[in-house]
Amino acid sequence: MSALRVWAPSVSRIRVRADGQDADLQAADDGWWTGPDLAPGTDYGFLLDDDETVIPDPASRRQPEGVHGPSRMYDQDAYDWRDAEWVGRDLTAAVVYELHIGTFTPGATFDAAIERLEHLARLGVTHVEVLPINAVNGIWNWGYDGVGWYAVHEPLGGPDGFKRFVDAAHGHGLAVVLDVVYNHLGPSGNYLPKFGPYLKPGRNTWGDLVNVEEPAVRRFIVDNALMWLRDFHLDALRLDAVHALQDSSPIHILAQLSGEVDDLAAELGRPLTLIAESDLNDPIMITPREQGGRGIAAQWDDDVHHALHSLLSGETQGYYCDFGSLPVLEKVFTRAFLHDGTYSTFRGHDHGAPVDRDTVRGWQFVVCLQNHDQVGNRAVGDRLPEIASPGRVRIGAVLLLTSPFTPMLWMGEEWAASTRWPFFTSHPEPELARLTGEGRVAEFAGHGWDVSQMIDPQDPAAYREAVLDWAEVDGDDHAAVLDLYRSLIRLRADEADLRDGDLRAVSLDYDEDAQWLVVHRGAFRVAVNLAATEQAVPVAAKQLVLATGPARPEADHVVLGPETAAVLRT
C-alpha cells in the first residue's frame, strides 16, 4: 500500500477518486496534501476544488490509458531484478550508443530492443543511451514532449518493460543512460499548472519555463532523477538542454542534483553519472561544486560534431558557418571547444569559455558524428552517409573512435544505415498537429534547407521511415562498415593511448591545401587523406594497425589512397 502525496498550493480542496469512491486529501504545510493508502494496481485520479473532471497524479508512476487517463498505483519493489552482481560503469573508458526505443526495432518496445542487445555487446559499446521514455500524448514521439515525468510511456512497454530492458542490458555488460527532460513540458497533457506554480513566467525554445527556484518543484525534479537511478537501476542520466533551466537560486538546481546523485551513488556502492546537454560551451557544467561549478560528470560537445560534420560533408550553412577547416579540427581536438570566448558568426557575439586542460579530461566531453538532433533536425532526416562519400564516412569513424573524448554512436551508424530519421509526432489534437508541422517548416527553411522534400511530422510515413532496417546489416557494404566500427572500438579498448583523455597530449599536423592531417595519440598516429587522389602523408611509423583503404607505410611517410584513414604505431 502507498499513501498519496501531492504538492498543490493553488487549490483549496483535493479529492481522490478510486474504485468508484471519492475521498478528501488532507492539507499539510507548504501546499502539500496527503491522502489514503491505495493498493498496487488501483486506478485513481484527482478532482481539484469543485471541478468534477478527474485528472492524473503529477507524480503518477503509471498511465496505462495515456496522459489524460487515470493514474495507476505501481509497486516499485515488485520487479524481481537479476542484476545483483552488476557493479556499474563510469565514463572514463566509455563508448556510448544512443537509441530511440520506438524506432530501434520494428517491434518498437523494450522487449523488442532486448533482442538486439547482443548486437550492441558484440559491437563493443559500453553504455546504451535511451531517448526519453516518459509518458507523452499519442503513440509515437521523439520523447521530448513528455508530461508524465514519473511514468514510462505505455506503448513502449510501461515501467516493467523498461526494468526488463535495463536488467537485460546489465546482463550483457551494458550500462544504461536515460535521457531526461526537465527544462519544459510537452504541449498536451500537462496538468501541473492546475496544482500550483510548477511553471513561471517566460519561455524557452520549447515551452514555458519550469519554476526551478521553487523548493517543491526542485524536489519534484531531483526526486524524479533519483527514482530512475534507484528504482530502475539506471547508471546515468543525460540531462536535456540544461541551458534552458533558468535558475537564480543561491545553489543552482544542477548543483543540488549532482550532489544528491553523488550521495545516492555512495549509498548504492556503484557509479552514477550525470551528463549535461548544454550549448553554452562553458566548463562550469563539469567544474566541481566546491569550486563553484555544477558538479556534472560530463557534457555534450557540439563543437566537435560540427567540426567533423562540416569537414566530412562540406556543409557550412547555419550553425556550421565557422567550421569545416583543419585548423578548426585542431582546436576542438586539443581544446574541446572552438568557441571558448571567441566570436561566433552564427550567434553574432562572443561565446563560450576556455577549458582548463590541466584539470579537465577529454572523457568529460561526449562527442559524435551523428545523433538524434543532428540527424532528426535536418529537413528530411538524412544521415551522414547520404551527404558524405563512403570514404569520408569511414574517415569520420576513425577520427571519432580514436579521439580523446567519449565517443557516442547514433543507432544504425555502425553499419551506415540508409534509413532516414525525420522529425515525427502523433499528436491526437488536429490544431496542435498543424502547428507542429508549420513550425518545423519555418525552422528548417531558416537553415537554408529545401523544405519541399520535408515529410509532414504527423504523417505516419514519417515514423515508419525512421525505423531501422536490420536486414541491411548483412549487406556487403554495410557489413564492411560494421567490421570497421567493431575493429575501432576493440582497438580503443585495447590501447590506452587511443582513449587517453589528456588534451595536452594531443597534437595535429596538417596541410589545408593538400587536405591531409595526422593526429598524434601517444604511440599512435592517425593519418588521414581527405583528397580525391592518392598522396603521401609525412608520418613515420613502424606498423600499420588499421586502414580504411589502400595504405603503404614508407620510411618517413605513408601513402594513402583517396579518402583514406590509417592508424599507425610509431
Residues acting as catalytic residues: 240, 277
Which burial class, exposed, middle or buried, applies to 459 when counting CB atoms under 10 A from its CB (0-12, 13-18, 19+)?
middle
**CB of 323 closer than 8 Å to CB of 310:** yes
**Residues 6 or more apart from 2 whose CB is under 8 A from it?**
37, 38, 40, 73, 75
SS3 of residue 207 by DSSP: coil
Q: How far is CA 72 from CA 38, 155, 267, 486, in A?
A: 10, 15, 29, 43
Report DSSP letters for 33-54, one per residue. EEEEEE-TT-EEEEEETT----
Paired residues of 508 in beta bridges: 519
Report DSSP letters for 543-561, one per residue. EEEEESS-EEE-SS-EEE-
Ramachandran area for residue 30 (φ above 0: left; ψ -120 to 50: alpha; else beta): left
Helix (H) or strand (E) holding 68: none
**Start-to-end CA span in the chain (Å):** 65
**CB of 34 closer than 8 Å to CB of 4:** yes
**Residues 6 or more apart from 286 whose CB is under 8 A from it?**
276, 293, 294, 296, 297, 298, 299, 360, 364
Cα 99 to chain centroid distance, Å, stands at 8
How many CA within 13 A on the CB side of residue 512?
A: 7
**CB of 559 closer than 8 Å to CB of 536:** yes
The CA distance from 453 to 445, in Å, is 11
Which burial class, exposed, middle or buried, applies to 116 when counting CB atoms under 10 A from its CB (0-12, 13-18, 19+)?
middle
Ramachandran area for residue 418 (φ above 0: left; ψ -120 to 50: alpha; else beta): alpha
Of the candidates 100, 147, 98, 154, the one whose C-alpha atom is nearest the C-alpha of residue 126 is 98
Ramachandran area for residue 211 (φ above 0: left; ψ -120 to 50: alpha; else beta): beta
